[in-house]
Amino acid sequence: MTGRVAHVNVSRGGVPKLPIAETWVGRLGLEGDGHNEPEPMHGGPDQAVSLYSMESLARVAADGHQAFPGAFGENLTLEGVEMGSLAAGDRLAIGDELVIEMTKHAQPCQTIAHWFKGRRIARISATIHPEDARWYARVVQEGRVREGDPVQRVVD
């Protein structure tokens, strides 16, 4: 599997997360990114980076919901990486340095409900639509991330 980083998104807290060209990714997440709700809801070493895909955004938008990069609180919006093809423990190498490991699905919450018709956040639930569910990842190797960086699955 190969893809690319379509968008790098951060906010001081809340959604949407807004695009930036690049940033440093440390053990606790992206520099310049924050959360309105502390652990265990968001953040921490096992939820340092949130991921979503352009492909999933297109499917969700096709169902009539508002969907755009950063809307659902993801830090990295990937292209060419299907969310349904990922599993806990999978590692992705991003750019020249960064390596992340999938930890768990990011369950939808009411914070993003306003983007969904009828507030139906289950549209991105891992139980109902695993192909369009967001992922959390821990940082295995810190590094910079940039829009356009290549993304490859790490095979041990």
Summarize pLDDT for 18-48 with one digit per residue, the tens.
999 999 999 999 999 986 665 555 678 999 9
In the beta sheet, which residues pair with residue 22? 146
Beta bridge partners of 25: 30, 143
The residues, any chain, with a CB within 8 Å of residue 32's CB and separated by 6 or more, are 10, 12, 20, 23
What pLDDT does residue 149 have? 98
Supply the pLDDT for residue 42: 64
CB 30, CB 94: distance < 8 Å = no
pLDDT recorded at residue 43 = 75
Q: Tell me which residues of the chain have a pLDDT lower than 70.
A: 35-42
Query: Residue type at 32?
Result: G
**Type of residue found at 25:** V
Nearest Cα to Cα of residue 84 among 133, 145, 23 = 133
Distance of CA 145 to the CA centre of its chain: 13
Supply the pLDDT for residue 132. 98
Domain that holds residue 52: 2-154
Q: What is the DSSP letter of 55?
A: H
Count of all residues that appear for the chain in the document: 156
Of 104, 109, 98, which Cα lies nearest the Cα of 141? Answer: 98
Q: Which of 28, 148, 149, 135 is nearest to 72 (CA)?
A: 135
pLDDT at residue 17, as a whole number: 96
Counting the structural domains of the chain, the total is: 1
Cis amide bond preceding 16, omega within 30: yes
Pair of tokens at residue 125: 């639930």
CATH of the domain at 148: 2.40.33.20
- Return the pLDDT at 85: 97
Asked if 143 and 96 touch (Cβ cutoff 8 Å), the reply is: yes
pLDDT at 44: 87
